[in-house]
Amino acid sequence: MTAQSALTFKTTRSASPKSQAERDAILANPGFGKYFTDHMVSIDWSVDRGWYDAQVKPYGPLSLDPAASVLHYAQEIFEGLKAYRHADGSVWTFRPQANGLRMQRSAQRLALPELPVDAFVESLKQLVSVDQVWVPSAPDTSLYLRPFMIANESFLGVRSAQQAAYYVIASPVGAYFAKGVAPVSIWLSSEYARAAKGGTGAAKCGGNYAASLLPQQEAYANDCPQVLFLDPIEGKYLEELGGMNVFLVKKDGTLLTPSLSGSILEGVTRSSLIQLAKDRGHKVEERKISIDEWIDGFASGDVVEAFACGTAAVVAPISCLKGRNFVAGNPNAPAGEVTMSLRKELTDIQNGLKEDRHGWLVRLA
Ligand code: COI
């Protein structure tokens, strides 16, 4: 159990919020992560004081000393979750406690302070209640919430920071990929690993994503919007994509996904899909999956669908896997049926269109 935090938020409203016309223009075509709401949350932390000075304040640049340790040693973690507008106008989020707990695990690994989960959830409520008008209502849109924490102590010695800050910013979003939910091709990185055994792969820290960018460029150069990494030891087993978990669907309806090896991220979407698939009677195997099992399975017809999943893209059908000397699957293949029906069930629950039988939704406003 997480101790109740005693933080009280002070709210300062922006003196220059976007006009309704400006906001409507953004909400009509938000893209992903390009626009931000009028406010943000900040909470400071120091070894001596613990968490203090919780605020909702106007969105704006941070003031950081050039010696702030995050700028030198990348002591940073983040989270991603979404706020959804339901038909009655209310605003909800999905399993925020799971994100709050994961942020605590990331904090442990990056030697940052743990924010109590109730303060994490409260920070989302505080921001969304002030920026409610920014939650879009069109299909496949939401307000993406990005909590993050940085070490902001001015000190160049290499040790865990004694001063840090937690923030939440929010961005109205539509589809993550430029082509919406159309099937994507995935590039297999044969040269680079995403994370090492004993490294930070299971933590949601900026460094993991920085390490994925060069292989991601290689993916783009090969017409693939995402890159797939294999395990760092044998270079043989599926781990995860640049920013998403991966699933295969077999002909007999079994779902396969890499087990949590210690070097992949424990996705909230991943675990929710495992639950929904089991509820429908699918067998779900969380285990080591070799790259050959995927490639040979596509060729033999034993693997009939593949998809990527994460908060940002929700579920993205994968049409084919490409590597240096091969293409497995068909770049023009349509989205798989199991893939799209799981996607629909999950998004219907998130949008209040289907019963929330697992009690996953939390009201924000
Ligand atoms: C998410 O799906 O929320 C992710 O982690 C991807 C993100 C880094 C854009």
- Nearest atom of ligand 1 to the alpha carbon of 80: 3
**Sign for the pseudo-dihedral over CA of 9, 15, 19, 22:** negative
Enter the pTM of the model: 0.96
Indicate which residue's Cα is closest to atom 9 of ligand 1: 312
For residue 289, give the 3-state DSSP assignment.
Answer: coil
- Alpha carbons 63 and 298: distance in angstroms, whole number: 51
Q: In this predicted structure, what is the pLDDT of residue 4?
A: 53
Q: In this predicted structure, what is the pLDDT of residue 3?
A: 47
Contact 352, 87 (CB under 8 A): yes
| pLDDT 10s digits, 137-193 | 999 999 999 999 999 999 999 999 899 999 999 999 998 988 888 999 999 999 999
- Nearest atom of ligand 1 to the alpha carbon of 269: 2
> Does residue 151's CB lie within 6 angstroms of at least one atom of ligand 1?
no
Task: Give CA angle at 67 (63, 68), nearest 5°.
Answer: 55
Task: Give CA angle at 105 (103, 106), nearest 5°.
Answer: 60
- Alpha carbons 297 and 300: distance in angstroms, whole number: 5
Cα 61–chain centre separation: 23
- C-alpha 267 to ligand 1 mean position (Å): 9
End-to-end Cα spacing for the chain? 25
Q: Which one is predicted more confidently, 179 or 288?
A: 288
DSSP assignment of 99-112 equals HHHHHHHHHHHTT-
Q: In this predicted structure, what is the pLDDT of residue 2?
A: 43
Alpha helices in the chain (DSSP H): 20-28, 69-73, 96-109, 117-130, 206-211, 213-221, 268-279, 291-300, 337-350
- Best CA proximity match to 240, nearest among 249, 250, 227, 224: 227
Indicate which residue's Cα is closest to atom 5 of ligand 1: 243
Instruction: Assign 6 a pLDDT band (cuts: 50, 70, 90).
Output: confident
Alpha helices in 170-257 (DSSP H): 206-211, 213-221
- Alpha carbons 141 and 348: distance in angstroms, whole number: 12
Contact 318, 185 (CB under 8 A): yes
Q: In this predicted structure, what is the pLDDT of residue 5?
A: 66
Instruction: Assign 42 a pLDDT band (cuts: 50, 70, 90).
Output: very high
Contact 35, 171 (CB under 8 A): yes
What the block records as the tokens of 276 is 């929904």
- C-alpha 48 to ligand 1 mean position (Å): 33
Which residues sit opposite 295 in a β-bridge? none
> Does residue 245's CB lie within 6 angstroms of at least one atom of ligand 1?
no
Q: In this predicted structure, what is the pLDDT of residue 1?
A: 39
- C-alpha 272 to ligand 1 mean position (Å): 15
Q: In this predicted structure, what is the pLDDT of residue 261?
A: 84
Chain position carrying tokens 């933590």: 203
Percentage of the residues of the chain whose pLDDT score is greater than 70: 99
Percentage of the residues of the chain whose pLDDT score is greater than 90: 94
- Nearest atom of ligand 1 to the alpha carbon of 265: 5
| pLDDT 10s digits, 246-286 | 999 999 999 999 999 899 999 999 999 999 999 999 999 99
Q: In this predicted structure, what is the pLDDT of residue 242?
A: 87
Q: Which one is predicted more confidently, 179 or 34?
A: 34
- C-alpha 331 to ligand 1 mean position (Å): 24
Q: In this predicted structure, what is the pLDDT of residue 365?
A: 97
> Does residue 80's CB lie within 6 angstroms of at least one atom of ligand 1?
yes
| pLDDT 10s digits, 212-258 | 999 999 999 999 999 999 999 999 999 999 889 999 999 999 999 99
- C-alpha 12 to ligand 1 mean position (Å): 29
